A and B are shown apart, each in its own frame.
Chain A
Amino acid sequence: MLSEIWSDFRYRLRALVRRDRLELELDEEVRFHIEREAEKYERDGMTRVDALRRARLAFGGVDRAKEETRDARGVVLVETMLQDLRYALRGLRLKPGFTAAVVVTLGLGIGANAAMFGVVDRLLFRPPSFMADPATVHRVYLAWTERGEAIHTEHLQYTTYLDLSRWTSSFSAMAGFSNRELAVGDGDHAREIKVGAVSASFFDFFHARPALGRFFSEAEDALPAGSPVSVLSHAYWQTRYGGRLDVLGTRLQVGKTPTTIIGVAPPGFVGINDDGPPLVFIPITNYGTTISKDYYRNYGWDWMHMLVRRKPGVSTAAASVDLSSAFLRSWNTRKGMERSLPPADVARPHAVAAAVPLARGPEASRDAKVVTWISAVALVVMLIACANVANLLLARALRRRREIAMRLALGISRGRLVRQLLTESCVLAVLGGAAGLAVAQWGGGALRALLITNEDAVSVASDGRTIAFAVVATLAAAVLTGLVPALHTGRGDLATTLKAGGRDGAHHRSTARTALLVFQGSLSVVLLVGAGLFVRSMQNVRALRLGYDVEPILYVAAHGRSVKPAPAEMAALKERMLDEARSSPGVVRATRTQMVPFWSGERRLLFVPGIDSVRRLGHFDLAAGSPDYFATMGTRILRGRGFTRDDGASAPRVAVVSEAMAGIIWPGRDAIGQCMRINADTMPCTTIVGIAENIRSRSITDAPESHYYLPIAQYDQHVGSSFPWLFVRVDGRAADYAESTRQRLQRLMPGDAYVTVDPMRTIVDPTQRAWRTGATMFVAFGGLALALAAIGLYSVIAYDVAQRTRELGVRIALGAQARDVTRLIVGQGIGLAALGVVIGGTLALAAGRWVAPLLFAVSPRDPVVFGGVVAVLLGVAAVASVIPALRATRVDPTEALRSD
């Protein structure tokens, strides 16, 4: 049996490779046979001529016999495929313009999708690199209800982490981690970089071996303080240490702790990369102890995340139930320590074992939603590209109708013909796929920079998953684009086609082509409407007044690290920093602050005479600043006054409240002059002296926020001394002065303390990113779609004009003016576009409901957007059909009537 298969294979291989020789042999064999047969007849007395004829007759159809013999060789399929391939390549070489148009169109479609896939995959699907058995690994999310508001969070306290570890039994491994920005290095080399504070067990979640040294042991991560050790990421080791082997055992200052380097992670290992890859890893207990001595005993700050691995046989649902009951127990323990915590039967605390990527967790970000939308858009672009290519192929097939009819008449089977056409579209799709990878490689970097923050710089070309996706997209494109023209060609009456010849006066417009065109137009309308809506949203977001200026503001923060100045020294340092900042070039004003919008916030218990519970009225955020605060920020004082130098530590306590807060706490009354007590109802009155405009410091979309402001001198009394934060207002663009300001202030820093400076723009930008991304992507893809639709329309109209040359010739001969002909052709183009506008507009209106939550202060049925899109599409249609129309007016009637 085996030998048979082997002989079979050898034979077929020889048949394939030595095809020509086998053909010659077959010829000779048949000739020999007929000779011998003829000789036999000659011996019977026939003449040579008669004998030969008789022999041939007896043999039957020589060609048929040969054909069957070839079939018997069993390689016909491969042979014809190679033949079709050669035929397709020859055909494409002969029409470079057509080929280029198709390859570019497909390239853009496939490229856009491959690049988008790279983003979506990284954001939503791809498990972290090196993660072992990722299907069983989850991030723990906590949820409860507070004041009727459902709260979901992935943040928890180390104490909660211990509780959940202790009181669950569903997990074979658990780890805590927290990626933090810490100053790493000494003195002038100190830079804030991402540091992963992780449990020793964290590394067991990965199939990763240290490139050098080792990871931390359980003992080095033991409570309460762990050991001061660090593991470098491979990238950091390469860039900072040049890959030196003697790095092990050397000292590296991480945050406040001098650590000893004990290992280097393998290349590409980034742990859990939520918002930028960590460059250094330290034991989580060692980091915890720098926050608070009691970080593992109290429920203060929720600063870390938890990773779990389910035991075999435990379902995700069961794991969540187990976590929930442990969390309930933990809640009750916490309630015993914190009176103000709502009781468990009100808060209903529960926990979920959900996906590791945050974008797929219960708190999917707006960014993730926008990215999902953009992938859908990319798919639509792909459909448009395919429709366009199908249209071009169809036009080509129609142009070749006579050739094809001729070949059918000569005996080629329809099946073979369809196969040939499919081969052609496959070749085109493969070329398009290659172009697509190039597009993805080039555009993918830009796209990832725009869409994902945790970029770990992997190029598309070396990413197997993206390439696999591109291959699948290519195959889909080949089938989608090839099928329509192939089926179209499979039909049709050849006799009529052959008879009609070029004198095909009664031209018939291809309905398939028209339908494809309208389809393209409709989808383009949908995308353009999306682009319009997102652009308007972005404009609105940009125009939104946050209640303070953004462009001219710099945020300056001093970080103490191990320096602990005496209170008097600290007070002097704060003053010196303010003075130094004010005298920096370009700086016009400076103020101290304790609140940074979108980065940090602070709330206190408030007591107002006559109100039972201020807390029940809403959230009130505290901000504090120097006398120059409001002028520096550009926040307007609506009534009353801001702060002055007289509002010192020992002066009467005063506060400024936002308009919103004044309206909530003292509705219908003048807030100025009212009394408010902070922290406890036994505290002295803080008198309201001014009303400021509302600001946004938490979210730009949620309900309006309420703020109150204290003079920083009076605020300092509450919290004691820590290194100061400043806001600095410059004359011009803040970013231009960031480095000079940093250098001047750094000189004032004692010991290893250091200064960081961020323009307010970089703080505010991430909150607007979703709209900017949406606008950019929709505009890019919408423009692409429009261009493709325009090309499609042009090619259909141009083809039509070519087909109607005779008819147009007759019209012109009968006295039609150029204007009439132009109107005829352009009208046809606009008619098609109008149909597309109607269908696409309806689709866009229907889809509006789904995008509405992603828009900002724009109705999904915004008339300006819809009107604009209609105008653009009709305009483009007019331009695309004017070119062939002008050609039509130049038809020479005598030429047209005489031809063929």
Chain B
Amino acid sequence: MTDDRLDLPQGTLDLLILKALSLAPQHGWAISERIHQVSRATLQIPQGSLYPALHRLERRGWIKAEWGASDNNRRAKYYELTRGGRKQLEHETKSWSRLTTAVALVLDMG
């Protein structure tokens, strides 16, 4: 394990999952792979937390699940954003950037 990997701050996992699903429906493993890759291997999703998070989002109605065939023709459960999920993503993205900007400002104080 390399030390340049970061633990996810509380509450960001949902945001990342929503974002990863914003382009196309994905199954669980692909979501974690995608986040891992896009973050240039910096963010490692604790795989054990992925599925509870997915079910929680599904319960809230932000994503919905459907069984489909994966690229190598195996059955996999695909998740996709609902309309509510899209709104939620927008909302959370905005508050995230507000938060990071604010934190950056404070840190830049000199």
A74, B55: Cα distance in complex, Å: 10
Is B40 an interface residue when CB atoms closer than 8 A count as contact?
no
B59 and A60 form a contact (CB under 8 A): no
Is A65 an interface residue when CB atoms closer than 8 A count as contact?
yes
A69, B75: Cα distance in complex, Å: 20
* Chain A residues near B51 (CB-CB < 8 A): 26, 29-30, 33, 65-66, 68-69
Is A58 an interface residue when CB atoms closer than 8 A count as contact?
yes
A55 nearest in chain B by CB position: B47
Shortest distance from the beta carbon of B110 to any chain A beta carbon, whole Å:
42
A61, B47: Cα distance in complex, Å: 10
B84 and A68 form a contact (CB under 8 A): no
With A4-B61, A73-B55 already in contact, the answer to whether A58 and B47 are too (CB < 8 A) is yes
Partner of B60, one of A8, A32, A61: A8
With A28-B75, A60-B47 already in contact, the answer to whether A71 and B52 are too (CB < 8 A) is yes
B48 and A61 form a contact (CB under 8 A): yes
Q: Mark B44-55, 1 if CB is under 8 A from A, else 0.
A: 001111011101
Shortest distance from the beta carbon of A54 to any chain B beta carbon, whole Å:
12
Counting chain B CB atoms within 10 Å of each CB, which of A3, A6, A28, A29 scores highest? Answer: A29
A68, B33: Cα distance in complex, Å: 21
Q: Identify the 4 closest CB pairs spanning chains A and B, nearest first.
A: A7-B61, A60-B48, A68-B52, A65-B48
Partner of B29, one of A28, A32, A73: A32
B48 and A68 form a contact (CB under 8 A): yes
Shortest distance from the beta carbon of A56 to any chain B beta carbon, whole Å:
10
Q: Is the interface of B mostly helix, strand, loop or mixed?
A: helix
With A4-B60, A8-B60, A32-B74 already in contact, the answer to whether A72 and B55 are too (CB < 8 A) is yes
A3 and B28 form a contact (CB under 8 A): no
16 sample A-B contacts, Cβ–Cβ < 8 Å, listed by A number? A6-B61, A7-B59, A7-B61, A7-B84, A11-B59, A12-B59, A29-B77, A32-B27, A36-B30, A58-B47, A59-B47, A59-B48, A66-B51, A69-B52, A71-B52, A72-B53
A62 nearest in chain B by CB position: B48
Counting chain B CB atoms within 10 Å of each CB, which of A64, A65, A66 scores highest? Answer: A65
Sorting the interface of chain B by its residue count into under 10, 10 to 19, 20 to 34 or 35 or more gives: 20 to 34
Is A204 an interface residue when CB atoms closer than 8 A count as contact?
no
A699, B52: Cα distance in complex, Å: 80
A64, B49: Cα distance in complex, Å: 9
Sorting the interface of chain A by its residue count into under 10, 10 to 19, 20 to 34 or 35 or more gives: 20 to 34
Is B58 an interface residue when CB atoms closer than 8 A count as contact?
yes
Is B56 an interface residue when CB atoms closer than 8 A count as contact?
yes
B61 and A8 form a contact (CB under 8 A): yes
Is A693 an interface residue when CB atoms closer than 8 A count as contact?
no
* Chain B residues near A36 (CB-CB < 8 A): 29-30
Is A628 an interface residue when CB atoms closer than 8 A count as contact?
no
Q: Mark B30-41, 1 if CB is under 8 A from A, else 0.
A: 100100000000
A60, B50: Cα distance in complex, Å: 11
B48 and A29 form a contact (CB under 8 A): no
A66, B54: Cα distance in complex, Å: 12
Is B43 an interface residue when CB atoms closer than 8 A count as contact?
no
Is A504 an interface residue when CB atoms closer than 8 A count as contact?
no
A7 and B60 form a contact (CB under 8 A): yes
Is A455 an interface residue when CB atoms closer than 8 A count as contact?
no
Is B76 an interface residue when CB atoms closer than 8 A count as contact?
yes
With A3-B61, A12-B59, A33-B29 already in contact, the answer to whether A72 and B76 are too (CB < 8 A) is no
A33 and B28 form a contact (CB under 8 A): yes
Q: Mark A24-52, 1 if CB is under 8 A from B, else 0.
A: 01101110110111001000000000000
Q: Is the interface of A mostly helix, strand, loop or mixed?
A: helix
Shortest distance from the beta carbon of B94 to any chain A beta carbon, whole Å:
19
Interface residues of A in 517-573 (CB under 8 A from B): none
* Chain A residues near B84 (CB-CB < 8 A): 3-4, 7
A59, B50: Cα distance in complex, Å: 10
* Chain A residues near B28 (CB-CB < 8 A): 29, 32-33
Other than the given A8-B59, A29-B27, A65-B47, 11 more pairs (CB < 8 A) read A6-B61, A7-B61, A32-B77, A36-B29, A60-B47, A65-B51, A68-B49, A69-B52, A69-B55, A72-B52, A72-B56
A217, B52: Cα distance in complex, Å: 75
A11 and B29 form a contact (CB under 8 A): no
* Chain A residues near B47 (CB-CB < 8 A): 33, 37, 58-60, 65
B77 and A28 form a contact (CB under 8 A): yes
* Chain A residues near B77 (CB-CB < 8 A): 25, 28-29, 32
* Chain A residues near B74 (CB-CB < 8 A): 32, 35
B75 and A73 form a contact (CB under 8 A): no
* Chain A residues near B75 (CB-CB < 8 A): 28, 32
A66 nearest in chain B by CB position: B51
Shortest distance from the beta carbon of A73 to any chain B beta carbon, whole Å:
6
* Chain A residues near B49 (CB-CB < 8 A): 65, 68
* Chain B residues near A68 (CB-CB < 8 A): 48-49, 51-52
B32 nearest in chain A by CB position: A33
* Chain B residues near A64 (CB-CB < 8 A): 48
Q: Mark B77-109, 1 if CB is under 8 A from A, else 0.
A: 100000010000000000000000000000000
A61, B46: Cα distance in complex, Å: 11
A29, B75: Cα distance in complex, Å: 9
Shortest distance from the beta carbon of B34 to any chain A beta carbon, whole Å:
12
B44 nearest in chain A by CB position: A58
Shortest distance from the beta carbon of A611 to any chain B beta carbon, whole Å:
98
A747, B63: Cα distance in complex, Å: 96
A35, B72: Cα distance in complex, Å: 12
Shortest distance from the beta carbon of A825 to any chain B beta carbon, whole Å:
57
B52 and A65 form a contact (CB under 8 A): yes
Shortest distance from the beta carbon of A58 to any chain B beta carbon, whole Å:
6
* Chain B residues near A35 (CB-CB < 8 A): 74
* Chain B residues near A7 (CB-CB < 8 A): 59-61, 84
A71 nearest in chain B by CB position: B52
* Chain A residues near B56 (CB-CB < 8 A): 72
A8, B27: Cα distance in complex, Å: 22
A11, B29: Cα distance in complex, Å: 23
A4 nearest in chain B by CB position: B61
B30 nearest in chain A by CB position: A36
Shortest distance from the beta carbon of A29 to any chain B beta carbon, whole Å:
5
* Chain B residues near A11 (CB-CB < 8 A): 58-59, 61
